[in-house]
């Protein structure tokens, strides 16, 4: 019986065995669950125990052999239930005869489970204590690393171009751009129809080449 082998493997494990039933532990699965040092059940899980069953064919002698075999299998299953629950053998036999279904509360009440699993709750966000750090300085650093997006991509490009031209003019000499970088924030982005002419752009490119 596969369930018996799994039960024995878990029982022989030297460490602590925790069984979590998050769905249904019915029939042979209920036997395996009894090997846990701690059996936890979900609030919506179910556990079911019943008598073993088989299919037999033959005369009355063969039928009797099957009946005797099932009786022994039942006793071996009850052994696992007794060790975990502490219930009497007649009580467990009656529960198996009735094919008993148990919800989480009943499973804990009868000793088939030890505890109902609680739902994990989100912990409230910890407020920073005084002295842990200056949030205003951190905000300023974040603003430097991640500046707010400009309302106009064209404005950002012009500001970058003028900054580059200012640096080139300061290093190599030459005429600085007429428009101040700070003033760019107050100049709306031109429409496509009123943009710079090709000649003006060529003059800027020639200036960069010098």
pLDDT given at position 101 = 96
Say how many CA atoms lie within 13 Å of 150 toward its Cβ. 15
pLDDT given at position 124 = 66
pLDDT given at position 94 = 96
Instruction: Kindly list the structural domains of the chain, giving each domain's residue range(s) and its CATH number in brackets, ordered by start.
Output: 2-116 (3.90.226.10), 148-209 (no CATH)
- Stretch 194-199: mean pLDDT: 63
3-state secondary structure of 209: helix
pLDDT given at position 172 = 76
Whole-number average pLDDT of the chain: 81
Bridging pattern class, strands 46-49 and 100-103: antiparallel
Q: In this model, does residue 41 exceed pLDDT 90?
A: yes
Residues paired with 38 in a beta bridge? 18
> pTM of the predicted model, to two decimals?
0.57
Instruction: Give the closest residue to 93 by CA, choosing from 107, 103, 79.
Output: 79
Q: What is the pLDDT of residues 117-170, one digit of tens each?
A: 988 776 666 766 665 555 566 666 666 655 555 443 333 445 566 777 787 777
């Amino acid at each position: 019986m596969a369930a018996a082998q799994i039960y024995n493997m878990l029982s022989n494990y030297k460490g602590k065995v925790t069984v979590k039933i998050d769905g249904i532990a019915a029939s042979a699965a209920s036997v395996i669950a009894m090997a846990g040092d701690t059996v936890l059940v979900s609030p919506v899980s179910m556990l079911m125990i019943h008598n073993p069953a088989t299919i037999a064919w033959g005369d009355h002698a063969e039928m009797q052999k099957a009946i005797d075999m099932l009786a022994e299998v039942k006793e071996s299953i009850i052994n696992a239930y007794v060790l975990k629950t502490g219930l009497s053998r007649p009580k467990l036999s009656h529960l198996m005869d009735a094919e008993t279904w148990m919800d989480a509360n009943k499973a804990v009440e009868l000793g088939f489970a030890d505890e109902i699993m609680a739902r994990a709750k989100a912990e409230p966000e910890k407020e920073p204590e005084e002295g842990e750090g200056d949030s205003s300085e951190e905000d300023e650093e974040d603003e430097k690393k991640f500046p707010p997006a400009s309302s106009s991509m064209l404005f950002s490009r012009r500001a970058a171009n003028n900054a580059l031209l200012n640096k080139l003019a300061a290093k190599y000499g030459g005429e600085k751009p007429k428009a101040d970088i700070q003033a760019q924030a107050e100049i709306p982005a031109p429409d496509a129809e009123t943009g710079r002419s090709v000649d003006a752009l060529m003059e800027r490119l020639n200036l960069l080449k010098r």
